[in-house]
Structure 1
Amino acid sequence: MIKIIEIFSSIEAAKVIAPNIDYKDYIPLDLSVSNLELHNHKLETASDYEIFIQKYLNKNKGEIAFGGYIEIRNLYKRSAVFKNEITDERNIHIGLDLWINEAATIHAALAGKIHSFQNNTALGDYGPTIILEHEIQGFVFHTLYGHLSEASLIGKKVGEVVNIGEQIATLGLPPINGDYAPHLHFQIIIDMEEKTGDYPGVCSEKKLEFYKNNCPNPNLLLKII
């Protein structure tokens, strides 16, 4: 963890979505169970969240809402991907979400290569997903981009080189994006644990310490605030 913090502190802030939008137009969004304001809204469907987030952006004069790292959320209860009879409930978000209700381009945070990609089609999953592999100062790690459009996977090849800031995808819409309000799930992953095209973006309390170390705060790289 110390190594990756040192690396990220030495490089410029990365833009991964709609790079024309300045960070001053980003506003924090709390979707955790502790946000009592959420209790005053009917938030069940992708459309419900889309309306709620747009009103929040308008009210706060923002263009992109961001947040969610290590948030405990009720958002995942509708899906057996996160809660079923044989596994512990997963409700702690270990990536960073960037919410925007309009077409947006997705860009590589750093130079690297395509590690893997896949359409994770289950309800509540990532939908189309791209994972990049990076190496800086001999340290190998990965960045995951979830909730993309189906077109984002066309023509992709494992091992394909990408440049820093290069457009790699476009934002997906519901239901293709796992049936969420439009947003990018961005995550840093050190050890992929031999997984391809997918990696947990939500964990259980029992495994939180492992994932906090393997998936450090994405804002170390983005430097939004």
Structure 2
Amino acid sequence: MFKSNFAEFLKDCTNEFTPVLDKTFAKKDFVHIDLSETNKDIREMPIPSAIAVKTFIDGYVASKKAKVAYGGYNEKRTLYQRSVIFKGETSPSSRNIHIGLDFWCDAGTAVLAALEGTVHSFKENEGFGNYGPTIILEHIVGDRTFYTLYGHLSKDSIKKLSFGQIVEAGDKIGTLGSHKVNGDYAPHLHFQVIKDIQGYTGDYPGVASADKLDFYLDNCPDPNLLLKID
């Protein structure tokens, strides 16, 4: 049945925990992490470099006896202040609110398709603070067409892809990139669900400004509705 509420529709697309990383990770291996501006440890980093953030995250994950840290949806962050790509002409138009879900673990970790679909587009989004290699999949479920974005991948992830390529749920579509290729971030997957791709190919905003937040939260609902990590 067609549902007008995309978030409710998304929730019904899966029945249980749906991994987007290496299949050896179980649900219990994931721990939520707060990287918002309210986190004193992050806020007080003089320069939040990729290495400094990775050290902090690795320590947090170890302290929780976990393997992967995740979080960040609708999270206001100071991390983006170091890159000009997030700057607006005025303060309200500066982008600092994350609208995807991040999964922090080692470079080289396998990235999996959340659902069956086809390769919509892929691109190497170069530049400091950008996505680096990125894949977007298109999914058709019932009467709905929507998209999932996988950002901060390795360069090899997009070398052998083709537009329209069919993927099954759980297929390995790439690996996580190092800070040298992923926009200079601690290694992680940026995973985002997109209702209307708005003509983008291989890219879509993953960080919003406060003045456009309502639109982006509606167009990009919480990926955990689909993945069911908690």
Question: Which bracket does the TM-score occupy, shorter chain normalised?
Answer: over 0.9
Deviation, 1:35, is: 1.8
**Corresponding residue of 2:175:** 170
What is the match of residue 98 of structure 1? 103
* 1:140 paired residue number: 145
Instruction: Give the Cα separation in 2 of the matches to 1:206 and 1:182.
Output: 29
Residue 71, structure 1, aligned to residue 61, structure 2: no
SS in 2 for 1:18: coil
Runs (4+) off by over 3 Å: 39-43, 84-87
Q: Secondary structure at the match of 1:77?
A: helix
Q: Does 1:151 align with 2:162?
A: no
**Contact (CA 8 Å) 1:26, 1:64: kept in 2 or not?**
yes
The structural deviation recorded for 1:6 is 3.0
Q: Is the 8 A contact 1:42 1:48 kept in 2?
A: no
What number of residue pairs does the alignment pair up?
225
Partners of 2:124 and 2:90 lie apart in 1 by 24
In the alignment, the residues of structure 2 paired with residue 189 and residue 125 of structure 1 have an alpha-carbon distance, to the nearest angstrom, of 18
Aligned AA (2:66): G
Letter in 2 for 1:186: F
Give deviations 1:163-192, integer Å, cap 9, x for gaps: 111000011001201100000000000101
**In structure 2, distance between residues paired with 1:115 and 1:86:** 34
For residues 129-176 of structure 1, the C-alpha deviation after alignment (integer angstroms, 9 at most, x for no partner) is: 000000101100000000000000111111111111100001100120
Contact 1:112 1:162 in 2 (8 A): yes
Structure 2 length normalisation: TM-score?
A: 0.93
RMSD over equivalenced CA pairs, Å:
1.6
Cα distance, 1:2 vs. partner?
1.7
TM-score, normalising length from structure 1?
0.95
Identity %: 46
Instruction: Confirm or deny that 1:214 pairs with 2:219.
Output: yes
Q: 2:97 & 2:7 partners in 1: Cα distance?
A: 22
Tell whether 2:8 aligns with 1:5: yes
What letter is aligned with 1:96?
Answer: L
* Matched ranges for 1:81-96 at <5 A: 81-85=85-89, 88-96=93-101
Paired position in structure 1 for 2:22:
18
Tell me, in whole angstroms, the C-alpha distance in 2 between the residues paired with 1:163 and 1:15.
Answer: 13
Is the CA contact 1:134–1:142 (under 8 Å) kept in the aligned structure 2?
Answer: yes
Mean Cα deviation higher: 64-73 or 87-96:
87-96
CA spacing shift, 1:127–1:191, aligned 2, 3 Å: same
Structure 2 distance, partners of 1:198, 1:154, is: 16
Gaps of 5+ in 1: none
Q: 1:10 to 1:190 in 2, by over 3 A?
A: closer
TM-fit CA distance, 1:10: 4.8
Matched, 1:32 2:36: yes
Shift of residue 36, structure 1, vs aligned partner: 2.4
